Structure 1
Amino acid sequence: MKKLILVNGIPASGKSTVARVIANELHLPLLSLDEIKEPFMVQLCDTIDRTLNRKLGYAAYQAMFNIVQQAPKNSTIILDAWFGFREKSRLQEYITACDIQHTLEIWNAISPERVAERYQARVHKRIKGHPGDEYLPELMALAHQAHPMSIGKCYTVDQDKDINYQELIQWIKNHLD
């Protein structure tokens, strides 16, 4: 039975760090939307605007699920992405097409103030093509309204507090079977 762990959250919510901890602790493969998208951004860096960035995100999203679809039937794979940038129905279509029988979601909740602080700290270190400081008001508004995809059981990580990774890993172990 193929299984997915969706590590979900808005940009700068801490999802990539959480996904890496889960992958390392459980010895599971990890696919990250940004890790798939960014090599293309480097090659196209002189022409990337918000529209092209979004299209590259759509392509990376599809690539993640193409890889999942090719994985052996007994695989458990971690996906790191802001799944809310696509419609929930699209995510459900991909999950069905990949014959996923079991899905867990790790939702990374974060306050607008904390996400703005994190985004500002990294904005000038990111690959050209990601939105700049002008994205902060939109990101802060997103922090108010974003929510989990609610496909499968969901564990919420409060990124405004210390994270109990041991509790998170145990929750995943308990719910993967």
Structure 2
Amino acid sequence: MKQAIIVNGVPASGKSTVGAHLTRALLDAGLAAVPLGLDVVKEALFVEVGIGDREHNRMLGRASYRAIFDTIAGFSSELLPVIDAWHGFQPQSVLKDHLARSGIERVVEIWCAVSPETAAGRYRARTGTRHAGHLPAAYADELFELTKRARPMALGPVVEIDTERPWQPGITARVRELLEQDGYVPTASASSDPITE
């Protein structure tokens, strides 16, 4: 069975940090986790295609999202994609279509919970260090309101992480438990050592 982990949350909710930490822990546990970040693809498109207005930004976001799932379509079931994106930037039906097209039968969702104040503050603070193609610091006001109503996609089990706290013990073990419930098996070369946080 082909499974995937979707690391979800509004912009500046801590997805990239959570995704990196989780991917490393899963690799250390012997699972063939493959990190795939929407912003990584999108920033490459900024360089090659150029930056533009907000609609241009959204178009590149949609293209990046599709590219990630088209890539996963070629994965074997032994590989475990860890997809870092704000999955709520399009209707849930878009994610469902991408999952079906890429052959993913089951997802475990990591929901990066954050307060509106923290998300907006983080967004403003990081604007000067990110690619100019991203939305400007003024987007933080809109993000504040978005964070109030944002919810997980809930297309599978959801593990909520408070990203205003340090990495919580047991998260990796919980994710692995959920993956194994429906038969995900580590690769043949996987270590049988216990997971360490």
Shorter chain as normaliser: what TM range?
over 0.9
Q: Hey, what's the Cα distance between the residues in 2 that align with 1:141 and 1:44?
A: 30
Structure 2: 5+ residue stretches without partners: 28-32, 181-197
Q: Secondary structure at the match of 1:149?
A: coil
1:145 maps to a residue whose letter is R
- How far apart are 1:44 and its partner, in Å? 4.1
Bigger Rg, which one: 2
Task: Give the conservation status (yes or no) of the 8 Å contact 1:50–1:129.
Answer: no
Residue deviations 1:70-95, cap 9 Å, x none?
11133211000000001101101111
Residue matched to 1:33? 38
Residue matched to 2:18? 18
Counterparts of residues 128-143 of structure 1 (less than 5 Å): 128-143=132-147
RMSD value, Cα: 1.1
2:173 maps to a residue whose letter is Q
Structure 1: 5+ residue stretches without partners: none
Q: Bigger CA drift: 27-36 or 72-81? A: 72-81
Whether 2:170 is the aligned partner of 1:170: answer no
Q: TM-score, normalised by structure 1?
A: 0.95
Q: Hey, what's the Cα distance between the residues in 2 that align with 1:67 and 1:140?
A: 33
- How far apart are 1:43 and its partner, in Å? 3.3
Task: Give the conservation status (yes or no) of the 8 Å contact 1:42–1:127.
Answer: no
- How far apart are 1:66 and its partner, in Å? 0.3
Q: Hey, what's the Cα distance between the residues in 2 that align with 1:98 and 1:133?
A: 35
Q: Secondary structure at the match of 2:94?
A: helix
- How far apart are 1:163 and its partner, in Å? 2.8
Task: Give the conservation status (yes or no) of the 8 Å contact 2:8–2:111.
Answer: yes
Q: Hey, what's the Cα distance between the residues in 1 that align with 2:175 and 2:19?
A: 12
Whether 2:115 is the aligned partner of 1:108: answer no
Task: Give the conservation status (yes or no) of the 8 Å contact 1:42–1:128.
Answer: no
Counterparts of residues 149-160 of structure 1 (less than 5 Å): 149-160=153-164
- How far apart are 1:118 and its partner, in Å? 0.8
Q: TM-score, normalised by structure 2?
A: 0.85
Q: Which has the higher helix share?
A: 1
- How far apart are 1:30 and its partner, in Å? 0.6
- How far apart are 1:48 and its partner, in Å? 1.5
Deviating above 4 A after TM superposition, structure 1's stretches of 4 or more consecutive aligned residues are none
Residue matched to 1:58? 62
Residue deviations 1:76-116, cap 9 Å, x none?
11000000001101101111112212210000011111111
For these two proteins, the number of residue pairs brought into alignment is 175
| Identical counterparts, % of pairs | 37
